[in-house]
Amino acid sequence: MALHVARRDPRAHWVLLLLGLLLLLAALTVNGLVTGIAGGSGPSGAPAAPAPQKVTDGGPVLRLDQSEPVSRRMPDRTVALTFDDGPDPEWTPKVLDVLRRHRAHATFFVVGSRVNEHPELVRRILDEGHELGSHTYTHADVASVPRWRADLELSLTRKAIAAATGREVTLFRPPFSSTTPTLTAGGYEALRAAAGSGHVAVLADLDAKDWQRPGVPAIVRAATPQPGRGAVVLMHDGGGDRGQTVAAVDQLLTRLSTQGYRFTTVSAGIDAPPSTVPAGVGTRLSGHALRWTQAGAEWATTGMNLLLAVALVLGLARLAVQVACAQIHVRRVRRPRHRRPPVTAPVSVIVPAYNEAANIAATVRSLVASAYPALEVIVVDDGSSDGTADIVERMGLRGVRVIRQANAGKPAALNTGIRAARAELLVLVDGDTVFQPDTVHRLVQGFADPTVGAISGNTKVANRRRLLGRWQHLEYVIGFNLDRRMYDVLECMPTIPGAIGAFRRDVLLTVGGVPSDTLAEDTDLTMKVLRAGWRVVYEEAAIAWTEAPSSLRQLWRQRYRWCYGTMQAMWKHRHALREPGAGGKLGRRGLPYLTVFQIVLPLAAPAVDVYAVYGLFFMPWSTLVLAWVGLLLLQGLTAAYALHLDREGYGPLWTLPLQQLVYRQVMYLVVVQSAVTAVIGNRLRWQRMVRTGEAAAMVGAGTPGRPG
């Protein structure tokens, strides 16, 4: 309820975020296409209609840019060794070494994306007198992809080779092709389309099938032409372990050279002009841009993999610390070693209220019905326009005072109540919160320890019958209360919730009362108490029922204020990093934890979702399902453990999968909005939630119990 003048919330960042996520998805897609390359030769699908007989009966070198196909064969005793799927950093150099040792030349049909990864190998191929051809950019089956995709594959490969060598290629071998007789009608049409952009198709007379790794002798036999005949031989220098290929090439060259065979390039074998031509400046520049794009896509994917690994490690470490601390906390509070005398000192309960007509009667009645022996209730009406103060006054309850003031904000109302309170122990309560009869008693017992300056209670969601309420119930139990147990053990509690918190009066006066310069006054106040040298603890048995937002719009507004206010408080108390004592524990334990798990990781969450979309298309579904089920199981076990600690039923666990698909996105988008608001220096209004009275209706105004 703090009053702030604010400019309109920024919105342009949503467009930038969407564009950034689309760019990331595009980068991941590019990397997925260029790394998920399958090798091999032969038809990639089911049997299909054959190409025209004049083609299947012809030679392996095909010109299809005329009305009638023209094919050529290798002359007798001439072998054109051809290698597909490279360049490969391990096997291509070994193949080149064998060829150089035998003074033989060959033709390499390179994959464009691999050219961008290893341009130096492509240059070496040309420098040593060999020939280059295109094998598409991503090893795509041009017979089955759309025409635009096939054209793009050829164009990108040309540009990649041009950037690496300064030359453009005209020879083309389609992936998954083999010998001419195996050419299908679809493959033939794809080759005719490629001829339209100046490509000459090269198939094979002999397919060594070395990608199957059948053994060196089998490869040599398959690659040996009939005695005295020439042949185009299909082999591979990339796409897998090509050790057998290297050995087979060495044996083949040794054996056939003694029989008078010559080993040359495809173009030289048919006495055709050189197949490469100088590349234009535009083509070379486009090729360089393509290589940078591919490198950027690889960096983006590497970065995402690193982010996911770090997030996973941090998540598991967080869970381990939470569980360990929860066990320590449970042993400490449920089986205390030293029984202290019960605290029975008078308590003043301060209820700041602004337009709380829906719940204020239930709140006040629950406080008056408290079993605590010495209690006064102070309702500070902060300029309500719905008759909140009148409702309390008409109740005429003993021990309840109403103070009216002009609207000045929640911190001002709390400070008014603090000044008016008669007791030395103060309990601060929101006007939509309902206590159980034993809540106040349990809440203040921690003050038996003179080092404790403030105590957090256990806030529970009352209106949890609907799906959104169940999600928030799980968040309160898992995210808030499990964390509070950890903060208690580590002595770095950053927030006592406004719904239920107890303070020593002199502590509040020492720190200057409730601050009003942040929107998370509860977090700001708690951090001030810690920095003043006091302990802040958590009392799990002091239960308060509160009304949570009942719509996504209200939830957004509430969490936006919480998140932005927490960022303000963290920045305000950043100097705690260098302080000794309790303040230092906040600075070196609490603040880093909040930074990582409430700001940094949520800001990275949109990118993680984009990575999940990428995985749907480029990762095995079995891997995705296993990862998702594993993550969900881990979350379910964590939730079940947290519910067990809070003595809650396990019924809401079924909503966890849906929570991951909707609620999680709302929460991280809130962090994005808050971070942008903080960066640009905007001031956020206090956006009050509209109360419906569900907390009062469900919990009851008498002796509240657990809602169903």
Angstrom CA distances, 121 to 91, 171, 268, 298, 466, stand at 11, 18, 21, 19, 63
CA proximity to 592, closest of 258, 318, 301:
318
Strand-pairing partners, residue 502, are 427, 455
Q: CB within 8 A of 692, min separation 6: which ones?
A: 358, 463, 547, 550
Which residue of the set 84, 88, 210, 382 is catalytic?
Answer: 84
Catalytic residue among 105, 139, 236, 329: 236
The answer to whether the beta carbons of residues 116 and 295 sit under 8 Å apart is: yes
Q: Which residue has the tokens 């995402």?
A: 304
Quick check: 371 and 474 in contact, CB under 8 A? no
Helical ranges in 335-448 per DSSP H: 360-368, 388-395, 410-420, 439-444
**38, HSE (Cβ side, Cα atoms, 13 Å):** 12
> What are the angstrom distances between the C-alpha of 287 and each of 28, 33, 49, 700?
19, 17, 37, 72
In the DSSP assignment, the letter for residue 134 is: E
**Residues for the chain: how many in total?**
708
Close Cβ partners of 373 (under 8 Å, ≥ 6 residues apart): 344
| Cβ neighbours of 433 (radius 10 Å) | 28
* Torsion sign (Cα): 171, 172, 178, 181: negative
Distance CA 476, CA 228 (A): 83
Q: Which residues contact 599 (CB under 8 A, 6 or more apart)?
A: 567, 671, 675
Question: What does the alpha-carbon distance between residue 251 and residue 156 come to, in Å, rounded to a whole number?
Answer: 36
Bond preceding residue 87 cis, omega within 30 of 0: yes
What residues contact 185, with CB distance under 8 A and at least 6 apart? 48, 49, 50, 51, 52
H or E segment to which residue 453 belongs: strand 452-461
Q: Is 4 a catalytic residue?
A: no
**How many Cβ atoms sit within 10 Å of the Cβ of residue 50?**
15
Catalytic annotation on 381? no
Six-digit token string for 708:
């169903």
**Other C-beta atoms within 10 Å of 459: how many?**
24
Please state the φ and ψ torsions of residue 115, each to the nearest 5 degrees: -60, -45
Please list, in sequence order, all residues whose beta carbon lies within 8 angstroms of the beta carbon of residue 62, skipping any fewer than 6 positions away: 55, 69, 70, 71, 180, 191, 200, 201, 202, 203
> Is the sign of the CA dihedral 661, 553, 651, 438 positive or negative?
positive
DSSP bridge pairs for 167: 278
Catalytic residues: 84, 236
